[in-house]
């Protein structure tokens, strides 16, 4: 990766560089601008603020006409995933940008309306809104020609307005934009839609509804449907572990602290299992199928209502689907029901349509990246926000943005390429050991371990190549750097 020398915090890194032969002359840069940011959701906002804070010049493209990404229920960029009843499933203090706390009088779990206003305020407060090129979808991102690895000589970005060149690309368009719908045998002749399209409970009025999937959206939608539908059934194979939003009067994610980064994972898991058992019971105690994995070996679902709905008989749990036949749904246990509507709460595929698949293709949602942000094979390319955790990834986006912006200025440096490749290999192996095999578990990180790892990455600079991490005891260092291990 080509890097510019470290500069004072307020110096502008522009599309011109100081000549090394004569420090008083300025030579033109081969790029139209230093950096490009794609997307104006939370990860794009965090990235833009980090670049502005360092005086780095950049272009910013958003295909819609507003900021906030999936949290804007009225977003016209096609990426809105909010619905009328949506609230955070992570608590306010652990869902805010570290540099921009949410108001303390907000509820523990803010609504999507509050979140949309938070992101708009963030953009306005930091002078970001006027920097965005709205209604400017990115059509192509291509490496500039030259010997060596793709990206070694910079990148070009094409929008309807034309093509511009950059040294660094920040991909911040999110990973919840392309709904994933499984293909079942047979044909269903009733109504169907993906959770991505869901807006309000009125759609369920008087209908027999089947929800496929027990992630956060699936459980939310099933609970909404109970209020108006004639019947609600939920398909799961296997069932996920369910965590309540509160335990012992506190938001459950607040049982985690920075100390978790240094705890052995089995100890951390056992703590959460005890909290789950005491506060919510085991899933099978509440009428749900027994999970085939332990807590934190898959992304758990957070819901304070779903288990009660099952216990009240408002939701009927069903096994895997065998086939559709008209409006009849046949299940793997030989049973069948008639339904009017099927809702697919079946997750998303990572969609990066502006890349040629030969340059970058997240097949099966696999993104093997150093610290989940970059690959040494494509210098100058950063992925911001492509992580999932138990809780919110919003604070992690800002930590990623701060680190990568420091890489642009040279305030931080990367380790040797082979070290990064070795890290990626070890991280992917750790993911396979820990998590259930699924497209849903390709981006998981432990919130506190990953937070600490990113902070340590920022401390690796040109005069201290090893960084503080390499001076820690080996066992602690490896746990920090491999956030999913």
| 166: β partners | 33, 155
The structure tokens listed for 479 are 């746990």
Please tell me the predicted confidence (pLDDT) of residue 467: 46
Token look-up 């833009």 returns 48
Name the phi and psi angles at 322, rounded to 5. Answer: -90, -45
Alpha-carbon distance of 182 to 328, in angstroms, equals 17
Alpha-carbon distance of 387 to 445, in angstroms, equals 7
Cis amide bond preceding 264, omega within 30: no
Query: Is the four-CA dihedral 65, 68, 74, 77 of positive or negative sign?
Result: positive
Q: Structural domain boundaries of the chain?
A: 16-177+349-481, 181-346
CA distances from 276 to 245, 273, 391, 434, 456 (A): 10, 5, 15, 19, 32
Strand 246-247 to 242-243 pairing: unpaired
Query: Is the four-CA dihedral 175, 303, 241, 451 of positive or negative sign?
Result: positive
Please tell me the predicted confidence (pLDDT) of residue 439: 67
CATH number for the domain formed by residue range(s) 16-177+349-481: 3.50.50.60
The structure tokens listed for 204 are 């369920």
CA distances from 123 to 55, 60, 133, 470 (A): 17, 13, 13, 37
Say yes or no: do domains 16-177+349-481 and 181-346 share a fold: yes
CA distances from 175 to 46, 240, 445 (A): 16, 21, 15
Please tell me the predicted confidence (pLDDT) of residue 481: 43
**Sequence-distant (≥ 6) Cβ neighbours of residue 63 within 8 angstroms:** 77, 78, 135, 136, 137, 138
CB atoms within 10 A of CB 159: 20
Contact 481, 424 (CB under 8 A): no
Contact 376, 451 (CB under 8 A): no
Per-residue pLDDT 10s for the chain (485 aa) are 333 333 333 334 444 443 333 434 444 679 999 999 999 999 999 999 999 999 999 999 999 999 999 899 988 988 888 999 999 999 999 999 999 999 999 999 999 999 999 999 999 999 999 999 999 999 999 999 999 999 999 999 999 999 999 999 999 998 887 899 999 999 999 999 999 999 999 999 999 999 999 999 999 999 999 999 999 999 987 778 888 999 999 999 998 889 999 999 899 999 889 988 888 888 888 888 888 888 888 888 899 899 999 999 999 999 999 999 999 999 999 999 999 999 999 999 999 999 999 999 998 888 999 999 999 999 999 999 999 888 899 999 999 999 999 999 999 999 999 999 999 999 999 888 888 776 666 788 999 999 999 999 999 986 665 544 444 444 444 444 444 44
Numbers of helices and strands, H then E, in the chain: 9, 23
The CATH fold of domain 181-346: FAD/NAD(P)-binding domain (3.50.50)
Contact 273, 295 (CB under 8 A): yes
What pTM did the predictor assign? 0.89
CB atoms within 10 A of CB 418: 9
Contact 455, 264 (CB under 8 A): no
């Amino acid at each position: 990766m080509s890097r510019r020398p470290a500069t004072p915090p307020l110096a502008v890194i522009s599309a011109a560089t100081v000549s090394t032969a004569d420090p008083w002359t300025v030579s033109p840069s081969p790029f139209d601008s230093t950096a490009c940011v794609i997307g104006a959701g939370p990860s794009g906002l965090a990235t833009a603020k980090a670049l502005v804070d360092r005086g780095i010049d950049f272009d910013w493209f958003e295909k819609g006409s507003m900021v906030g990404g999936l949290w804007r229920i009225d977003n016209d960029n096609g990426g809105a995933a909010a619905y009328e009843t949506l609230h955070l499933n992570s608590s306010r203090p652990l869902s805010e940008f570290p540099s921009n706390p949410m108001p303390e009088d907000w509820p523990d779990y803010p609504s999507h309306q509050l979140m949309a206003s938070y992101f708009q305020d963030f953009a306005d407060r930091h002078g970001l809104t006027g920097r965005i090129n709205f209604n400017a979808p990115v059509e192509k991102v291509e490496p500039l020609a030259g010997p060596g690895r793709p990206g070694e000589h910079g990148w070009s970005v094409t929008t309807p307005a034309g093509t511009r060149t950059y040294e660094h690309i920040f991909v911040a368009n999110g990973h919840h934009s392309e709904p994933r719908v499984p293909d079942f045998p047979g044909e269903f002749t009733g109504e169907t839609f993906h959770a991505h399209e869901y807006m309000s409970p009125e759609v369920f009025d008087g209908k027999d509804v089947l929800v496929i999937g027990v992630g956060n959206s699936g459980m939310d939608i099933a609970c909404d449907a109970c209020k108006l539908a004639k019947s609600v059934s939920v398909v799961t194979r296997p069932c996920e572990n369910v965590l309540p939003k509160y335990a012992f009067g506190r938001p459950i994610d607040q049982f985690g602290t920075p100390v978790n980064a240094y705890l052995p994972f089995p100890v951390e898991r056992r703590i959460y299992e005890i909290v789950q058992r005491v506060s919510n019971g085991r899933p099978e105690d509440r009428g749900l199928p027994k999970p085939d994995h332990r807590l934190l070996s898959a992304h758990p679902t957070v819901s304070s209502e779903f288990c009660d709905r099952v216990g009240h008989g408002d939701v009927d749990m069903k096994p895997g689907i065998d086939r559709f036949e008209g409006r009849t749904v046949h299940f793997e246990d030989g049973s069948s029901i008639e339904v009017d509507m099927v809702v697919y709460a079946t997750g998303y595929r990572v969609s990066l349509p502006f890349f040629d698949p030969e340059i970058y293709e997240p097949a099966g949602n696999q993104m093997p990246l150093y610290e989940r942000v970059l690959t040494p094979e494509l210098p100058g390319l950063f992925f911001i926000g492509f992580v999932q955790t138990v809780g919110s990834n919003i604070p992690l986006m800002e930590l990623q943005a701060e680190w990568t912006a420091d890489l642009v200025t040279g305030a931080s440096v990367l380790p040797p390429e082979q070290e990064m490749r070795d890290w990626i290999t070890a991280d992917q192996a750790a993911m396979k050991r820990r998590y259930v095999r699924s497209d849903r578990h390709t981006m998981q990180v432990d919130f506190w371990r990953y937070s600490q790892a990113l902070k340590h990455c920022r401390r690796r600079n040109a005069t201290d190549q090893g960084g503080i991490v390499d001076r820690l005891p080996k066992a602690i260092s490896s746990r920090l750097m491999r956030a999913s291990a």
